[in-house]
Amino acid sequence: MRLLSTKTFQLQEFYTDVPPYAILSHTWGKREVTFQDMQNVDSIKTREDLQTGWDKVKKACEHAQNYLFEWIWIDSCCINKESSAELSEALNSMYQYYEDAEVCYVYLSDVSGKEDPRDPSSAFRVSRWFKRGWTLQELLAPSHVVFLDEDWADLGTRQSLRDAISAITLIPVEVFEGKDIAGFSIAQRMSWAAFRETTRPEDQAYSLMGIFGVNMPPIYGEGGPKAFMRLQQEIIKISDDRSIFAWMHPLNRRNCEVF
């Protein structure tokens, strides 16, 4: 995997002996700093369109450094998305990346630390982060999750905020108390993603691969229903849990079309 130095902003690949690292979970803005941008860090500083994204990278590195992490993984700049082979490997490894991280920092750009996240009327309860498809595995996979507000101040951990997070996501609180998600039926786990959205329709299926322990090559352009059908086929190969047949692809539920 490729990690970003929190001190030098240099990217380095690790094939074995991966050092301890922090990982960032966030929602993408209009323009994030990419792998290509990171090839010339000095030029980023002069690009007006990159300043919001660059500030996020810098603040993530600073926060990780405060906790003595020399390395961090950020999806926007640690994957060369121009390489289809690398993108495929990253999507299939994403759950593992989050699972292996020492800590996952969840940056909520639309939440203020002035509010109590446990308050049902707080911005935390309606944060965009809880509505995105890829962030589901980023909530479930890491061993330790810390939520940060718009100013990168601590809001609490997945453990301390488990009741509020359960109420928002409809995921049983037992999951945030250590219960293995494999103990829940396929239909139950599918339901956790029911109201989440992705920019690319195929990602509704691809973002669930790690949650079900399957792998498959991404084929952007195949459409959401076909991607979801392939996901189901891969799950069936390793599981005899037939609750999967009770679940419909989000795009087809209104038509009662079950794959």
- CA-wise closest residue to 130 among 121, 119, 139: 139
Three-state secondary-structure class, residue 235: helix
Angstrom distance (rounded) from CA 235 to CA 134: 18
Sequential DSSP letters for 86-147 = HHHHHHHHHHHHHHHSSEEEEE-TT--TTS-TTSTTSGGGG-GGGGBSTHHHHHHS-S-EEE
pLDDT value for 251: 47
What is the domain partition of the chain in residue ranges?
Answer: 2-179, 183-247
Query: In this predicted model, what pLDDT tens digit does every residue of 13-52 receive, in sequence order?
Result: 999 999 999 999 999 999 999 999 999 999 998 999 999 9
Backbone angles phi, psi at 29, to 5 degrees: -95, -165
Query: In this predicted model, what pLDDT tens digit does every residue of 83-104 receive, in sequence order?
Result: 999 999 999 999 999 999 999 9
pTM for this predicted structure: 0.93
